Amino acid sequence: MLKEDKNRFMQMAIDLSQYALDSKCGGPFGAIIVKDGKIIGSGSNRITADLDPTAHGEVTAIREACKNIGTIDLSGCEIYTSAEPCPMCTAAIYWSKIEAVYYCNTEEEALEHGFSDKKILAELRKPKAKRTLLFKRIKNPLGIQIFKRSLEG
């Protein structure tokens, strides 16, 4: 893909971040998903509009792309995002099998402007017993049986 195309897709992601900010539907984040040079999904941050803390620009773009092409497998796709993805969005990108991430603003720049992903990363790196959020296992033998059945086909 040509550098001009990559710059155009990045500009579109930035335009979506501007839209999210201006419309007050969420924070200033936008994303575009591209496959074979064509846009298959786009999204802006919609956490306040949708009352959904998972409605980040990257996640909304992934949801739209999957719906548009009828699969959860985005192999062969690239995502252009206005900022380096947060831990949740990074996980979603891995789950969807997107193959490349292009971002504009860095994690450090996001931190300088009040976005606190570093706190989440620090928590995730701690052992479960030391996190501020309680993580407690409740065993049930049927739980593992369901996993075993999922392997049977």
Q: Which residues are catalytic?
A: 58
Helix, strand and coil in the chain, % to nearest 5: 50, 15, 35
Q: Which residues contact 110 (CB under 8 A, 6 or more apart)?
A: 83, 84, 117
Q: Which residues contact 16 (CB under 8 A, 6 or more apart)?
A: 29, 30, 31, 32, 42, 43, 44, 57, 82
Q: Which residues contact 22 (CB under 8 A, 6 or more apart)?
A: none
Sheet holding 30-35, edge to edge: 38-44, 30-35, 77-83, 100-105
* Torsion of the alpha carbons at 33, 99, 47 and 117, rounded to the nearest 10: -140
